[in-house]
Amino acid sequence: MIYSLNVLLVVVRVSLSGAILDVNYYKKSCPEVEDIISTIVRNATVYDRQVPARILRMFFHDCFLRGCDASVLLDSTPDHKAEKDGLANLSLAGYYVIDDAKTHLEQTCPGTVSCADILAIAARDSVVRSGGPSWKVLKGRKDGRISIAEDTKYLPTFYSNTSQLIQSFSEKGLSVKDLVALSGAHTLGFSHCESFEHRLRNFSSAHDTDPTLDPQFAAELKGKCAKPNTDPNAGEYLDSSSRVFDNNYYKRVVGGKGIFESDQTLMGDYRTRWRVETFAKFEGLFFIEFARAMVRLGNVGVVENGEVRANCRFVN
C-alpha cells in the first residue's frame, strides 16, 4: 500500500519536471520487454554469479553521470574516451548482458526499447535474482549521445566522507535516506584492494590503520592485500554473503567491517548513523526503502529527446 502510493508520487514528480516515465510505457509497443530482460539476466547469472552485482553498479554509475541515459554503455572511439574508460571503472563489467538483451529486443520489437530502460530493468532483476525486493520500473527513458571519460571524476569516491556523500547525492535530488538505503547495494559484489588498502597501512600520522576499522578485520584484509606485489585481482567481497541481497551490509558497518571508508563514515555522522542502525535491525524496512530509492535513482536526469540506440555501444 505504502509502496504503490510512493510509485504514484514519483510518477507525478517526474511528469512535473517534464519527462514522462510510465510503468506501462511499452505495454502496447513491446509487451514482452520485462520477460525478455529477466530471462537474459537469469541465464547470465547462471553462468557468472557476479552478474547481478555488476549490473547493479553499472546502473548507479549510469544514473550519476548525465542521468540514466545509458552513457555508461557507449564505447570509446579512436579519438574519444567514453565513461567506461575513465577512472573508477574498476570492476565495471557485464556489458555483454545488456548487449544480449538489446539483440533479443531488436528482434522482437525493433527500435523501441532504450538501452537506458534495459539497464534500469536489468538492475531491478539483478536485485530480485539475489533475493532482494522487487519494484515496478518506470520506463520511457531515451538514450543519450554523449559519454566522457573525465566525467567519472564526479562520482563519489571510496574515501568520501558523509558530508561529501550527502552533497553528491543531493545534487542528484537524492536524500540522506536514499544515500543510506542505496549504500546497501554493497551487500552484493567484490572490491579490489585498491579501493580500501589505504586504510590498512600508513593511514594517517596518528594511526597506521584506520581506527574505525575493526582490528581483526583489518588484519584479515592486510592478508588479502599483501605488499609488495599485490595481485591486481586481489580484494575482498563487500559482504560475507555477497551473492545474497540482505541487510548484512548494515550489520557489518555497525560492527566496523564496512570495506570502504565511504561505508564506514556513515556510522560517524548523526545524520546517517541511526539509519544504518535501523536498517541493520529491520531488513523489511531496508527492502522497502531500497526499492523506493532505486525508483528515485532511476529518475535522475532522464533524457526525453534522445534516441533509442540500435546497439547500446554506439550512437545511431
Question: Which residues sit in the known binding site for substrate?
Answer: 156
Whole-angstrom distance, CA of residue 98 vs CA of residue 72: 11
User: Which residues have C-beta within 8 Å of that of residue 259, sequence separation ≥ 6?
Assistant: 186, 191, 195, 196, 221, 236, 238
Q: Binding of ligand NAG at residue 84 (CB under 6 A)?
A: yes
Which grid coordinates are listed for 154? Answer: 564526479
Q: Binding of ligand NAG at residue 168 (CB under 6 A)?
A: no
Is the CB of residue 116 less than 8 Å from the CB of residue 303? yes
User: Maximum CA pair distance of the chain?
Assistant: 63
Binding site partner of 182, from ligand NAG, ligand HEM, none, Cβ cut-off 5-8 A by kind: ligand HEM
Binding segment (CB under 6 A) for ligand HEM, from list 18-26, 28-36, 188-196, 302-310: 188-196
Q: Binding of ligand HEM at residue 230 (CB under 6 A)?
A: no
Among 4, 202, 229, 305, binds ligand NAG (CB under 6 A): 202
Among 112, 164, 168, 278, binds ligand NAG (CB under 6 A): 164
Phi, psi of 22 (to 5 degrees): -145, 135
Binding site partner of 132, from ligand HEM, ligand NAG, none, Cβ cut-off 5-8 A by kind: none
Among 65, 74, 120, 185, binds ligand HEM (CB under 6 A): 185
Is the CB of residue 108 less than 8 Å from the CB of residue 29? no
Q: Binding of ligand HEM at residue 45 (CB under 6 A)?
A: no
Least distance (Å) between residue 232 CB and ligand HEM: 11
| Burial class of residue 315 in the structure, from the number of CB atoms within 10 Å of its CB (0-12 exposed, 13-18 middle, 19+ buried) | middle
Whole-angstrom distance, CA of residue 172 vs CA of residue 170: 5
Q: How far is CA 306 from CA 116, 145, 146, 174, 315, in A?
A: 11, 7, 10, 23, 10
Residues 288-307 that bind ligand HEM (CB under 6 A): none
How many CB atoms neighbour CB 243 within 10 A? Answer: 17
Active site residue 198: no
Q: Binding of ligand NAG at residue 44 (CB under 6 A)?
A: yes
Any idea which residues carry the catalytic annotation? 61
* Interface with ligand NAG (CB under 6 A): 43-44, 47, 84-85, 89, 92, 161, 163-164, 202
* Interface with ligand HEM (CB under 6 A): 50, 53-54, 56-57, 60, 90-91, 156-158, 160, 165, 182-183, 185-186, 188-192, 194-195, 238, 260, 262
